[in-house]
């Protein structure tokens, strides 16, 4: 009889409290930011790892929302000052449920990637005065392609046309392919 009570107790505990963890995928580089990758900038990887998460509750087996991988990535990136991405990242899903309440979440872990401040600075970047550049912004150099306008470039980086003109001391709206423009992304 005692064995049946223990078995029944174990079965009830399993029904009352259940959880799981699953490794979803690994990525070489992940970011929710606009990361310009090219010859004009140099990115470095930090030695330490950071972790970010986004979770949502469950009440009476009804989810109160869906966790978002982007929010988990943002959370991890923001834990390292100046980071713009994560390298060697792992994305996991975890969850548990206890009939009345539970939680489901995404966890992202990786090495922060940041702009190398000691990299050689492009000549176009050196010509820009610091007066119009925003504080704590990622500085990149955009090479103009055929048929690009100041407006399309500004929209690509989510900045204003006025800022692009000011940062580059432009006196006209005429752009030529190969021209280099400095952009500051927040």
Domains assigned to the chain = 20-115 (no CATH), 123-185 (3.10.350.10)
In this prediction, residue 106 carries a pLDDT of 96
CA distance 167 to 154: 12
pTM: predicted TM-score of the whole model, two decimal places: 0.56
**84, 33 contact by CB (below 8 A):** yes
pLDDT at 131 exceeding the cut of 50: no
> Sign of torsion, CA 37 28 52 91?
positive
Instruction: Give counts: helices (H), strands (E), the chain.
Output: 5, 8
pLDDT at 130 exceeding the cut of 80: no
CA distance 39 to 109: 27
161-168 helix and 150-157 helix, angle to the nearest 10 degrees: 110
pLDDT at 173 exceeding the cut of 50: yes
């Amino acid at each position: 009889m005692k064995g049946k009570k223990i078995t029944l107790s174990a079965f009830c505990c399993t029904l009352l409290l259940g959880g799981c963890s699953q490794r979803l995928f690994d990525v070489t580089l992940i970011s929710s930011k606009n990361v310009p990758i090219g010859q004009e900038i140099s990115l470095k990887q930090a030695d330490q790892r950071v972790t970010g998460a986004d979770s949502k509750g469950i009440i009476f087996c009804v989810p109160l929302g869906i966790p978002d991988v982007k929010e988990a990535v943002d959370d991890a990136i923001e834990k390292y000052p100046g980071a713009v991405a994560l390298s060697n990242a792992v994305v996991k899903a975890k969850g548990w449920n206890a009939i009345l309440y539970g939680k489901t979440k995404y966890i992202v872990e990786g090495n922060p990637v940041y702009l190398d401040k000691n990299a050689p600075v492009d000549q176009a970047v050196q010509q820009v005065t610091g007066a119009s550049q925003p504080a704590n912004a990622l500085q990149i150099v955009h090479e103009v392609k055929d048929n690009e306008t100041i407006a399309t470039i500004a929209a690509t980086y989510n900045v204003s046309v006025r800022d692009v003109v000011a940062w580059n001391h432009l006196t006209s709206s005429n752009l030529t392919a190969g021209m280099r423009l400095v952009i500051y992304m927040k």
